[in-house]
Amino acid sequence: MDRVALRGLRARGHHGVFPHEREEGQTFVVDLVLGLDTRPAATADDLSRTVHYGEIAEEVVDVVRGEPVDLIETLAERIADRCLEHDVVQEVEVVVHKPQAPITVPFDDVTITITRSRV
- The catalytic residues are 98
CA dist., res. 19 & res. 41, Å (int)? 46
End-to-end CA distance of the chain: 14
82, 23 contact by CB (below 8 A): no
- Give the count of beta carbons closer than 10 Å to the beta carbon of residue 3: 12
